[in-house]
Amino acid sequence: MNPEQREQAEREQAGRVLPPAGYPEPAPGRTEARRRHLLSEIDRQTHVRSRPALRPRRRMVLVLGAAMAAGAGIVVLSLGSGTTGGPNNAPPASAASVQEVERAALAAGATSPVKVVAGQYVYVRTVGHTSVLSENKAGQMELLRQDEAMEQWTSVDGSERTLQRKAGKDSLLPEAPGSLNSPTYNFLAALPTDPEALLKQIRDDAERNHGAGSGSTTGPDHEAFVTIGDLLRSGVTPPATTAALYRAAALTPGVDVAPDAVDAAGRRGIAVARVHDGERTEWIFDTGTARLLGERTVLVKDNAWGKAGTSVALVSSGVVTEAGQTP
């Protein structure tokens, strides 16, 4: 069976176990082209991204084939609309979102800085999950929830490898100097505290990796928004940096609010959000304190593929003397 026949058989099998898709049938060859592009994007991101634990930014995907069996082939189809990162027509951030991030910035700026010295580690504990649709051994489609709970210890100056603990198992992440994609406390402390200068640095990086000619479907504005959220979830950040990150988000086109959101720990709040390619990325804040609770990515509309997405809640953070300790 050649690849085209195999793909057609998988599509027919999916059609038997799922309701009709809520989107038009793609043109011949479109699915294969999208698949090749997505796999290329995943491969490229593997080389430029080095923080998988704090960036559970998996595209919402449909996994076809015996994905749970060793050595089985996997077909990955993007559920987005297929738009690429072209000219940005997004409106400026809404007044409501600007008000919310300013509230968060003021709250962050009013906190006392944490004393940090060389040799220490930033500790962060998160809970969360990723949902994907997969074919089981019986040939039926089912929605799987993958646990994303983890603890992580990152050297404040990047002099030691990051320790990560998932499901009771420890692992050391590859060495990585402080950067936007793998920040240390010292790196965050050195970032500009002027929102416009900070956004320029973040967006310039996003433009290089997700701008025109990059092959990325994310686009620089949405990548900048996601990067800011990742930095805010790094654990312990200098208050001035945190405030500047929030204000930089207010300068990003397309940002709005979702008035009722729930994080992975079940806590309700208000979300500052941005929609891209059928997905909404939300930062969820406590409505009373404006403290960041967590982040989630959801499909804008439920469809035949079900509810797929990611959700991560920041449970605890602090500075410790040794990796493995908790505050």
Please spell the DSSP secondary structure of 268-285, one letter per residue. Answer: EEEEEEEEETTEEEEEEE
Mean predicted confidence (pLDDT) in 102-120: 95
Cα–Cα distance measured from residue 79 to residue 305, given in angstroms and rounded to the nearest whole number: 8
State pLDDT tens for residues 236-251: 999 999 999 999 999 9
User: For residue 294, which of 279, 272, 274 has the smallest C-alpha distance?
Assistant: 272
Q: Are 55 and 187 in contact (CB under 8 A)?
A: no
Tokens of 220: 């620089």
Tokens of 93: 């951030």
**Chain-centre distance for alpha carbon 207:** 18
Residue 292 in 3-state DSSP?
strand
Radius of gyration of the chain (CA): 20
pLDDT at 205 > cutoff 60 = yes
* Predicted pLDDT at 299: 82
Mean predicted confidence (pLDDT) in 264-279: 94
What is the residue type of 308?
A
* Predicted pLDDT at 278: 86
State what percent of residues in the chain have pLDDT above 70.
Answer: 70
Cα–Cα distance measured from residue 68 to residue 88, given in angstroms and rounded to the nearest whole number: 39
DSSP label of 237:
-
For the chain, the average pLDDT equals: 77
pLDDT top residue among 228 and 21: 228
Range with the poorest average pLDDT among 28-37, 188-197, 288-297: 28-37
Mean predicted confidence (pLDDT) in 53-76: 32
Cα–Cα distance measured from residue 274 to residue 46, given in angstroms and rounded to the nearest whole number: 24
Q: Are 255 and 274 in contact (CB under 8 A)?
A: yes
